[in-house]
Amino acid sequence: MSLILALDFGGTKLAAATVESSQREWLRHDHCLSPANADALSDIEIMRSLIDSVLDGRKPDAIGVSFGGPVDADTGIVRLSHHVPGWENIPLQLLLEEEYNAPVSVDNDANVAAIGEYQFGAGQGYETLFYITISTGVGGGWILNGKTWQGAGGMAGEIGHMVVDPGGPVCLCGNRGCVERFASGPYIAQNAKELLEKHPPHSQGGTRGDILRHLVGNDLNKITGQLVSVAASHGDELARAVLNKAAWALGVGIGNVANLMNPQRFVLGGGVTKAGDNFWAIVRKVAQETALPEVNFEVVRAVLGDDAPLWGAVALGLDILD
């Protein structure tokens, strides 16, 4: 029985796990949040300690890697990370192969999560699906006719940088009004903070941001996407407005992709998808309104949750062994 090492280099979290090739339960699993001042070197050092923890002295037979940023899947070279500095043109596949003496396959996290959901999760039984991760960033991964599709240069699926509001705020990519600029966790937090800075505390205590202010002790720098969701669930109208805008942007993006590529299913994962039923209702409604009436599709939750990239990395490892 072969041992697969699965690794996930996320924008804010690093994770590692091991599994026997014929099993569907982790032998060992460990994760760690990236420090605020993380760079490529610190990420690699943290991952080394996680790998040591989950390998427990054993040698892997194959290593699958999910990376949060553009990757040349043919060479395993990381092009860059939009969220962690220092990853420009790092030969991650080669580094891991030399260090652990095992074959390695590396791909973008959304592509890898798509493979995971297709083989082990919400995509089972569907030959055409689009996986979207909405967390630190917003990315997408394609399964077309049962196979991954990365595009000519490995950049297919970047729904996060689809422009839905040309007059909207500037995104980290330089364009205005991208899906990611409205719907990613850090931008949800930033958008809420900017609105609170424009609106002083509500004199009657209630709804326009006061609940969110209370949650962070009036320190607006402590706002996170998760806290915006919590405030919205307790009736904070400002928090709800920010989340509704995020859901609208995502819905417009999904509807346009549905028109262009006509997948059977959209599978949504990542931390922002835990924002509540109202978020999901708006995403689905706007997606259906944006798409042509004749275009049929489903928008469903990822079954594998935060482990979708790790299970996709297992699938990469199984491909190596096959």
Residue 11, pLDDT > 90, answer no
pLDDT for position 29: 97
> In Å, what is the CA distance from 183 to each residue of 96, 100, 283?
33, 38, 11
258-275 pLDDT per residue, tens: 999 999 999 999 889 999
Distance (Å, whole) CA 235 – CA 210 = 10
Task: State which residues form the domain around 69.
Answer: 3-121+305-321
In-domain check, residue 133 = no
Residue 287, pLDDT > 60, answer yes
Cα torsion angle, 37, 159, 90, 313, sign: positive
In-domain check, residue 21 = yes
In-domain check, residue 151 = no
Strands 265-269 and 129-134: parallel
Tokens at 147, concatenated: 């196979």
> In Å, what is the CA distance from 275 to each residue of 132, 167, 183, 229?
15, 26, 11, 5
Closest CA to 241 of 181, 291, 191, 315: 191
Binning pLDDT at 50, 70 and 90, where does residue 202 land? low
219-250 pLDDT per residue, tens: 999 999 999 999 999 999 999 999 999 999 99
Closest CA to 296 of 287, 309, 283: 287
Calculate the dihedral angle through the C-alpha atoms of 239, 241, 247, 248, rounding to the nearest 10 degrees: -170
In-domain check, residue 268 = yes
pLDDT for position 250: 98
How many domains does the chain divide into? Answer: 2
In this structure, are residues 161 and 180 in contact, taking their beta carbons and an 8 Å threshold?
yes
Looking at residue 240, which CATH number applies to its domain?
Answer: 3.30.420.40
Residue 205, pLDDT > 70, answer no
- pLDDT above 70 covers a percentage of the chain that reads 98
Rounded to the nearest integer, the mean pLDDT of the chain is 94
- 63 and 14 within one domain: yes
Distance (Å, whole) CA 129 – CA 42 = 35
Tokens at 81, concatenated: 């990370």
Cβ-based neighbour number of residue 152 at 10 Å: 6
Distance (Å, whole) CA 183 – CA 173 = 14
User: Mean pLDDT over residues 48-62, rounded?
Assistant: 97
Residue 46, pLDDT > 60, answer yes
pLDDT for position 40: 96
In-domain check, residue 204 = yes
- 294 and 184 within one domain: yes
User: Mean pLDDT over residues 206-212, rounded?
Assistant: 82
In this structure, are residues 138 and 132 in contact, taking their beta carbons and an 8 Å threshold?
yes
- 195 and 70 within one domain: no
In this structure, are residues 304 and 272 in contact, taking their beta carbons and an 8 Å threshold?
no
- 114 and 16 within one domain: yes
The DSSP secondary structure of 107-146, one letter per residue, reads: EEHHHHHHHHHHHHSTTTT-SSEEEEEESSSEEEEEEETT
Higher pLDDT, 225 or 11: 225
In this structure, are residues 246 and 183 in contact, taking their beta carbons and an 8 Å threshold?
yes
pLDDT for position 155: 85
83-94 pLDDT per residue, tens: 899 999 999 999
- 192 and 315 within one domain: no
Tokens at 257, concatenated: 């992709």
Strands 13-20 and 28-33: antiparallel
Q: In what order do the strands lie in the sheet with 62-67?
A: 28-33, 13-20, 3-9, 62-67, 104-108
- 309 and 296 within one domain: no
101-127 pLDDT per residue, tens: 999 999 999 999 999 999 999 999 999
pLDDT for position 201: 74
Give bridge partners of residue 138 from the DSSP assignment: 134
- 255 and 166 within one domain: yes
pLDDT for position 207: 63
